[in-house]
Amino acid sequence: MSLIIKTSFTSDGSIETVWNLITDIEKSAPCFPGAVLGEKLPDGFYKGAFNVKLGPMTFNFAGKFGFIELQAENHFAKISASGTDVKGRGGAQGLIEVALTEKDNKTEVQITSDVTLSGSVAQYGRGVGMIQAISQQLINEFGKNLSSMIVATQEDTKSDSVVEEAAVTTESKESMSQASESRKPENSIKVSQLLWGAFVSWFKRIFVNKS
């Protein structure tokens, strides 16, 4: 059974921020409901697990997925994913295209999935409308989780900037204090020299006048 599933979500993050997060599998995969990220394979793919409920049945898939195409300049990516139910009730294979566009200072993420289901998975997933609805629900949750991560990242960046500015200010004050302290002995020496010179001149005048 083959079907095309189209889903989308919108994020308040900039297109570059969203792109960088989505294409970082180790950061974005945990944002997807029901997904568990496994180890990275030599071919660049990742092992993974995913569970989803179709009608009265809950399926637990184990498989692998990864990027097979990345166009950073166009903010377009293609993902290959495959998995089988751990109880042997069928499997799923898919090619997922992800396209990002910027609109009104927000980022729209369009996802088109070409999925092939087999076994009992195909039987319980016959209702295309049901699968579409479930897929959109999962993508909505993924979008919310991704947006929360973006907000947390931005807050961490702001906090780091404040700490850095405070450190620079403290360092600047310490440098000024040290410079001031280093000038004090020099100034004291100059004042002492002037006073001594004035005293010597005064003494000489007295001595000369008496002579």
Residues 95-127: tens digit of each pLDDT: 999 999 998 889 999 999 998 888 887 777 666
Is residue 86 assigned to a domain?
yes
42-65 per-position pLDDT tens digit: 999 999 999 888 777 888 999 999
Cα 25 to Cα 37: distance, rounded to the nearest angstrom: 9
- Is residue 122 assigned to a domain? yes
Is 141 a member of any domain? yes
Which CATH number fits the domain that encloses residue 108?
A: 3.30.530.20
119: which residues sit within 8 A by CB, 6+ positions away? Answer: 85, 88, 89, 90, 91
Q: What is the domain extent for residue 115?
A: 2-157
Q: Can you tell me the mean pLDDT for 136-164?
A: 76
Residue at 89 is within a domain: yes
Q: How far is CA 144 from CA 8, 156, 183, in A?
A: 12, 18, 59
190 occurs within a structural domain: no
Determine, yes or no, domain membership for 48: yes
Q: How many domains does the chain have?
A: 1
Task: Look at residue 149 and tell me if it is in a domain.
Answer: yes
In a domain, 192, yes or no: no
Whether the Cβ atoms of residue 77 and residue 67 lie closer than 8 Å to each other: yes
Least confident of 88-97, 100-109, 140-149, 168-177: 168-177
d(CA 86, CA 68): 25
Task: Report strand pairing: 106-119 vs 57-71.
Answer: unpaired
